[in-house]
């Protein structure tokens, strides 16, 4: 990173975020970052970083760090000093293992270790990290795994210390405590030291056996708890499905009852309509229809008679004389009406 860019770090800060991605960095400007304590979110993604300096672990104000898409092969042993770190993105690097102090990141809530050549046990604990939930689970499981490795390392260190203490013991020589090899102590002291060493080894074995027994009990309790939780969820699911099935059956029964009731009502209506005799109104309507037909027939007959007596040679016959007289009187009476006169005038105007 050029000197100009380092001097302009304060200008790159937006709120509490400092974006140094895509800057071709090969080392982290720790001193300059320490001078900007308000930048609690640091983005160092897409650079050429291969390692982080030990001084990076003094940036305890950092809450979120993005180191994805770099070339990191290891993390500093003091990484556990970042006590406020909650979000750590290590996607697409070259990490094989994590330092034991990683277990001290008690505030860590989100971790991504995808696309790293992790050792098998660590990769199994990290999981896939394909979404937000899996990354949160990754942080929890990786911390548990690292704590287990830390405990194993502590036990191994204690065993080495006990082994070293078995070689060197305090024994009396000329009334003064001397730290000597067993071979230089007299027989009585050698026997005492050998017995005390065996006693300590036996105690350590008992302690380890108790610890393993306790861990086994805890694992069994967790398995039992998970099985009970799974059984409870299964029963709840079955109860919900049974309730839904009962509701569906009740709906079907109600619909069938409603259909049957409608069918019965339709049948009763048909029976009632078939059994009821024709009412007076129906008789009146029939008589009226017959009357209209008869009247129409009379009108048609009268029109035919008038047409025959007016338009044919039969008008000279005796039976057409009264018909023609009535027609002539009717026409003269109609011509005297004002409305008819207006109609005749309009017809004549149209013909003209």
pLDDT tops 70 at residue 106: yes
Which of these, 298, 296, 302, lies nearest to 322 by C-alpha position?
302
Structure tokens at 176: 């003064």
Give the separation between CA 278 and CA 287, rounded to whole angstroms. 13
- What is this structure's pTM? 0.48
For residue 199, the model assigns a pLDDT of 62
> For 137-194, how does the pLDDT look when each residue is reduced to its tens digit (9 = 90+)?
999 999 999 999 999 988 888 888 877 665 544 444 444 444 444 444 444 444 445 5
Mean pLDDT, the chain, integer: 81
Give the separation between CA 187 and CA 80, rounded to whole angstroms. 49
Residue 339: band (very low, low, confident or very high) from pLDDT cuts 50, 70, 90: low
> For 200-244, how does the pLDDT look when each residue is reduced to its tens digit (9 = 90+)?
667 788 888 888 888 989 988 988 888 888 889 889 988 999 999
For residue 12, the model assigns a pLDDT of 85
For residue 285, the model assigns a pLDDT of 80
CB 87 within 8 A of CB 63: yes
Residue 299's region, left for phi above 0, alpha for psi from -120 to 50, else beta, is alpha
In which residue are the tokens 């009502």 written? 265
Q: Specify the range with the lowest mean pLDDT, choosing from 47-61, 259-273, 323-337.
A: 323-337
Residue 95: band (very low, low, confident or very high) from pLDDT cuts 50, 70, 90: very high
HEC string of 251-298?
HHHHHHHHHHHHHHHHHHHHHHHHHCCCCHHHHHHHHHHHHHHHHHHH
Give the separation between CA 92 and CA 114, rounded to whole angstroms. 6
> How many residues are there in the chain?
352
pLDDT tops 50 at residue 44: yes
Q: Specify the range with the lowest mean pLDDT, choosing from 39-53, 98-112, 147-161.
A: 147-161
The share of the chain scoring above pLDDT 70, in percent, equals 78
- Where in the chain are the domains? 3-152, 300-338
DSSP SS3 for 224: helix
Give the separation between CA 108 and CA 85, rounded to whole angstroms. 6
For residue 271, the model assigns a pLDDT of 75
Name residue 180's beta-bridge partners: 169
CATH number for the segment(s) 3-152: 3.80.10.10
* Pairwise pLDDT comparison (287 vs 136), residue with the higher score: 136
| 173-177, 187-191, 265-269, 292-296, range with greatest mean pLDDT | 292-296
């Amino acid at each position: 990173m050029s000197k100009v860019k380092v001097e302009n770090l304060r200008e790159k800060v937006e709120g509490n975020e400092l974006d140094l991605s895509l800057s071709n960095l090969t080392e982290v400007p720790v001193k300059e970052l320490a001078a900007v304590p308000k930048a609690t979110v640091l983005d160092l993604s897409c650079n050429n970083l291969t390692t982080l300096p030990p001084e990076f672990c003094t940036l305890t104000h950092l809450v979120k760090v993005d180191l994805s898409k770099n070339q990191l092969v290891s993390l500093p042993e003091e990484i556990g000093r970042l006590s406020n770190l909650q979000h750590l993105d290590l996607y697409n690097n070259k990490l094989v293992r994590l330092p034991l102090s990683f277990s001290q990141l008690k505030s860590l809530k989100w971790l991504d270790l995808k696309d790293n050549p992790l050792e098998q046990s660590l990769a199994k604990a990290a999981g896939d990290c394909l979404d937000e939930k899996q990354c949160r689970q990754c942080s929890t499981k990786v911390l548990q795994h690292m704590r287990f490795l830390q405990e194993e390392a502590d036990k191994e260190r204690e065993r080495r210390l006990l082994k070293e203490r078995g070689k060197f013991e305090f024994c009396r020589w000329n009334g003064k405590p001397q730290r000597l090899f067993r071979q230089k102590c007299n027989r009585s002291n050698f026997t005492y030291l050998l017995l005390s060493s065996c006693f300590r080894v036996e105690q350590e074995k008992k302690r380890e056996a108790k610890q393993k027994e306790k861990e086994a009990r805890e694992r069994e309790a967790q398995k039992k708890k998970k099985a009970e939780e799974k059984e409870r969820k299964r029963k709840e699911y079955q109860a919900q499905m049974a309730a839904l099935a009962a509701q569906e059956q009740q709906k079907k029964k109600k619909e069938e009852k409603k259909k049957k009731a409608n069918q019965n009502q339709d049948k009763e209506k048909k029976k009632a309509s078939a059994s009821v005799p024709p009412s007076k109104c129906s008789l009146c309507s029939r008589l009226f229809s017959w009357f209209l037909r008869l009247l129409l027939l009379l009108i048609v007959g009268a029109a035919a008679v008038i047409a025959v007596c007016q338009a044919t040679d039969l008008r000279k016959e005796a039976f057409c004389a009264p018909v023609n007289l009535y027609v002539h009187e009717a026409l003269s009476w109609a011509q005297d009406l004002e409305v008819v006169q207006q109609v005749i005038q309009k017809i004549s105007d149209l013909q003209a």
